[in-house]
Each structure stands twice: as structure tokens, then as C-alpha cells.
Amino acid sequence: MSWNARRILREVADPERRQRILRAFWRYADPPAKVMATAQLARSLHFRDETIRRMPADKKAELLASRLGSSEFEPTFEAALVQYHTHEANEMMAAFLDRWHVPHVKGSIEGDDYKEPDAAAVREAVDALSSQYDHRDIAIYLASAGALMGWEGVWAVVEEMGTG
């Protein structure tokens, strides 16, 4: 089974991290993405858009979490992972990107003139940074990089790390 945002949120993120990631979507996503997610939630839960729109971010994050089984929300979950990593886990992301010599600004990759990290480089970075960052946070980041960037070098390492 391949990794995607729904699998990352279900299997790698514990409930507290999942809530933080989904809350980051409501805090940082662009307005059109929020409008689409609101409409999807309203439709799937049989609520009015306005009802969802008025809810606090924590409640909207809980409602999104309740939709983890629905593939129609995959783009929203992908956006949540991006927003979380670029706004709340960017220090860790930057540390990994530095180890792989990927040009970035505060964790946001700049350009596409870099070599994708292979499994050996990923393992080396995990070994070097595991004392600075939580094991599960690293696994979430690596799985996200694999799913969203298509970096195949991370898959074996994420599997080796396990999700517990």
C-alpha cells in the first residue's frame, strides 16, 4: 500500500499531532482551499456551509479528522501537511533539507536544481537528527516528503522507522 496524506494522518500521526496538522490547515491555507474544504465538509456532514464556517478551527479540524476514510478530502489533507510543515515544523524540515543540500528558505524548497535524497542519505539524516526531533515527527515529515514530493528514497526508511 502506498503512502498518501490520509494514510499518514491515520497511521503515523497520533491523535494530538493529527489535530495540530489539521488545525494548521484552517490557520494557514489560502482562502479558496478553506472554502472548498468547508463546502466538502458541509456536503458530507449535511450541514450548511455557514455552520461550518462559524466553527472554531479546533472543531473544524475534528470534523476533517472524521473524514479520513474519504478520498475526496485527500487534497485537503495534503494541504494540511504542507501548511503544518511550512509553518509549524519548518525548523525540522530545514534541518533535513540542509543535510541533503536541498536549497530552501526556512524549509520551503527554492527551485528544483537539487538531487533527491536516496535511502542512504535519508537514513544518515535520521541518525544525525533523531536526538533533536521526535521520532514520530520525523516519520510524519519523511512520509509527507515521499507522498507530496514523490521522493522514493524515504519510503524504506519510513517503513523501517515504524509508526509507533
The per-residue pLDDT for range 119-163, each reduced to its tens digit, is 999 999 999 999 999 999 999 999 999 999 989 888 889 988 876
Say whether both 96 and 75 belong to one domain: no
Say whether both 111 and 40 belong to one domain: no
C-alpha cell at 148: 507530496
**DSSP SS3 for 109:** strand
pLDDT of residue 164: 52
Say whether both 41 and 73 belong to one domain: yes
Q: Measuring CA to CA, how many Å separate 69 from each of 10, 51, 94, 100? A: 9, 22, 31, 34
Say whether both 9 and 82 belong to one domain: yes
pLDDT of residue 107: 85
Quote the radius of gyration of the chain (alpha carbons, Å): 16
pTM, to two decimals: 0.93
Cross-strand pairs, 105: 108
Say whether both 30 and 100 belong to one domain: no
CA neighbor of 87 nearest in space, from 28, 154, 132: 28
pLDDT of residue 59: 97
Domain containing residue 105: 90-161
Q: Which residues of the chain have pLDDT under 70?
A: 1-2, 163-164
Domain count, the chain: 2
CA neighbor of 162 nearest in space, from 46, 59, 35, 14: 14
Say whether both 59 and 117 belong to one domain: no
- End-of-domain residue from the set 71, 87, 103: 87
